[in-house]
Structure 1
Amino acid sequence: MNSISWNEGIVVDIIKSYEDYQEINVKTDFGVRKAINYTIFTGIVNIGDQITVNTTAVELSLGTGGYDFVVFNHSLKNKALDKAPGHIMKLRYTPYQFKTLSVEEQDSDYHLEIEKFNTLNKFPIVVGTLHSQVSVFFESYKHLSKKDTTAVYIMTDGAALPIQLSNNIRVLKSEKIIDYTITVGNAFGGDYEAVNIYSGIVFAYEVLKADIIMICMGPGIVGTGTKYGFSGIEQGYILDAIEKLGGTPIALPRISFSDSRDRHKGLSHHSITILKDIVNAHCIIPYSITDLDKDSFINNQFTDNGLDLKHTIINTKGYNYNEIVSEFIVKPKSMGRTYTDEPYLFDACISASEFVLGGEANAKYARENCLD
């Protein structure tokens, strides 16, 4: 059984080049193909270099944007390990395992600060399931806050592992919409690395002094059409982690009235499964729908599944959200659908921003209604 395909080629063009990430054109036996190069593994490639690319995803027509991935750079014969501190391995026991300086380990400057952590003190943390929700949440938060804030994005390993794959995050960082990134588990490439989601949250709150934290996977959610077989199911145990650490968990629902698949109509079966059967915490679920028929459809889903009894559900009914979106730097898009096509998915992100920016009134509401 052969589960991976490789092909050799020559680099003929450099499309984009950053210190840690390159997009290139490669001439192969199958013509010129696009490829992505993560320099942590294979170094910087140049025009004329002979390389080997992993072609598996393109051959399977998966959602990688039509890119192959560089697995070997024949011009890079040897690569010495640097002497920087760090002993925590990511991609462990694979040919590409590499060391990181995790924020928790004893060589870290932050080890003692993390050890001092006691509680999140009801601090609200937002958790999504689709990477497209990330830019909308942070852009709306920065737009509505009207002040300098420290925004932290924690990327899980539920989808793409390298944060460099996300052009959205690169743009949001450069525009100071996201201030810091933390990659947890086997995800990598953030400003900081953490062993797991618990210590990632603790670091963002205790050390970075975040004003807002959002947690979500990178690009490339996995789904199988079965009840439990999707990577977004991680939202459930992350929401539980927030409550266990003393925070206020806010769940971004996946809502669509444009998806042709019945299981994703209104409140997606993914969200229903997570919020009904997986999560134990009492969560806040913000959304925004002004259309009476669509709101009635969603509310029937909430009540039929007992979610109105288990969680606090808030419809912010944001009439001017389209005006907010019009000022975004990153234009929202999910699975090829824009904000015009799919407003309700993205409006829930703006609703969450409004809630966490609601000040003491919302904080008091959360304390009295969401957590014991």
Structure 2
Amino acid sequence: MPFSSSPPPPSRIRWRRGQVTETGRRGRDTLQLTVEVPDEGALPALAYPSLVGIPEVGDEVLLNTTALAQGLGTGGFAMVVAVPDRLPPDPEGPGHLVKARYTPLQVTVSGVDEQETEHHALLAEVDDLGGMPVVVADLHSALPAILIGMLATDPDLKVAYVMTDGGALPAAFSRTLDALAKSLAGVVTVGQAYGGDLEAVTVHTGLLAARHVLGADLAIVTQGPGNLGTGTPWGFSGVAAGEACNAVTVLGGEPVGALRISDADPRTRHRGVSHHSLTAFGRVALGGVTLIAPRGLSSELGGQVDEDLAGQPARNPVVWVDTDGLDDALVLSPVPLRTMGRGYPEERAYFLAAAAAGRYAALRVPVPGAEVEAEPAP
């Protein structure tokens, strides 16, 4: 089909220029700003210094205000695209992996698995996770609760986080990762996501890097902050959770599913066990995944969890895990527990299910004398 000679379509980005009037919170690779935009006033903005340099008060900046205008929950900032009058220096050093490819903001990073890195030879040879348990969840908000469940069970375990590209692409966008950095062996960003301690091309190489480069005992896989959903059976970014389980299976790991369970979500499709979990784990994870439910939660929710999980295929065993002490550990979370605008204990079922998955995975790591306090679903 030939290219059309008709006029170009309208821009799909809301472009604005403004002047920085205030700088705010500095993260690992983020800087919050206030930018005065003509006819629109002061806008909250976010810059990634590794991409655009460090904006200063008085600088004119070029902004993308698309997500801000749409009122997206995790996109509540105008994003700084450039500081036109003070561009950062060109990048130096190794790195040939391009992420956010063929977009105006594509970036070059050094991949853990590319030829010129110290780990290439290792990752060219290894092909197995050695049974490493990997907890897979739909939403980024499950990450801290899963980690809490793991470390409350065994604080000496090394846990790596593998971030996929279903939500935010820059790892730096996650304040959660800033708060959890000391508790993680490292962050591996895969696919189009970038900004982790290690960069990898695929979930597969990301998992292998977590195990063999970071030396992790356990891994957690979720998308970055934000979640794309359309209210249709297959139109949600969490489908990739099932694909991640397949990667774990292929590589000889043990996939563990952190169920998305809620009694607070107003949407019927997410009440009880969310259709996101039932679809991703039940229909996409063809190699099977162990699904973890907190013991006693189903009766608290009127039997809804039992009913929702009754249709899971035989390849997905349901395990009910004891949750003694997990509520106390969640209360002490180093990062605020929030999902879909709701916190703990309002969404206790959600965070408790994530922590239970973390506990189960921790107990699956070969440790002398450790046993899983769990029982099959009736």
Query: TM over 0.5: same fold?
Result: yes
Change beyond 3 A, Cα 1:50–1:302: same
- TM superposition shift of 1:22: 0.6
Change beyond 3 A, Cα 1:81–1:207: closer
Q: Which moved more, 1:332-341 or 1:352-361?
A: 352-361
The equivalent residue for 1:199 is 205
Equivalent in 176, 182, 185 of residue 168 of structure 1: 176
Equivalent in 80, 105, 110 of residue 96 of structure 1: 105
Distance across 2 between alignment mates of 1:272 and 1:352: 16
Q: What code does the residue aligned with 2:83 have?
A: N
TM-score by length of 1: 0.92
Corresponding position: 1:294 with 2:325? no
Q: What code does the residue aligned with 2:242 have?
A: G
Tell whether the 8 Å contact from 2:52 to 2:87 is kept in structure 1 after alignment: no
- TM superposition shift of 1:310: 2.9
Distance across 1 between alignment mates of 2:125 and 2:266: 49
The equivalent residue for 2:361 is 356
The equivalent residue for 1:4 is 13
Secondary structure of 1:358 counterpart:
helix
The equivalent residue for 2:7 is none
* Ranges of 4+ aligned residues in structure 1 off by more than 3 Å: 359-365
Equivalences, count? 360
The equivalent residue for 1:138 is 147
Secondary structure of 2:333 counterpart:
coil
Structure 1 residues 252-271: aligned runs within 5 Å? 252-271=258-277
Distance across 1 between alignment mates of 2:272 and 2:27: 40
Q: Can you give the 5+ residue segments of structure 2 that lack an aligned partner in the other structure?
A: 1-9
Equivalent in 272, 280, 291 of residue 274 of structure 1: 280
TM-score by length of 2: 0.90
Q: What code does the residue aligned with 1:169 have?
A: L
Distance across 1 between alignment mates of 2:28 and 2:20: 17
Corresponding position: 1:56 with 2:66? yes
Corresponding position: 1:247 with 2:253? yes
Distance across 2 between alignment mates of 1:293 and 1:348: 13
Q: Among all aligned residue pairs of Structure 1 and Structure 2, give the percentage whose two residues are the same amino acid.
A: 31
The equivalent residue for 1:347 is 352
1:22-70 CA deviation, whole Å, 9 max, x = no partner? 1000011211110000122211100000011111111111123521101
Q: What code does the residue aligned with 2:281 have?
A: L
Distance across 2 between alignment mates of 1:135 and 1:213: 13
The equivalent residue for 1:16 is 25
Distance across 1 between alignment mates of 2:45 and 2:292: 39
CA RMSD for the aligned pairs? 2.0
Distance across 1 between alignment mates of 2:302 and 2:325: 17
Corresponding position: 1:35 with 2:42? no
- TM superposition shift of 1:295: 6.0
Q: Can you give the 5+ residue segments of structure 1 that lack an aligned partner in the other structure?
A: none
- TM superposition shift of 1:271: 1.0
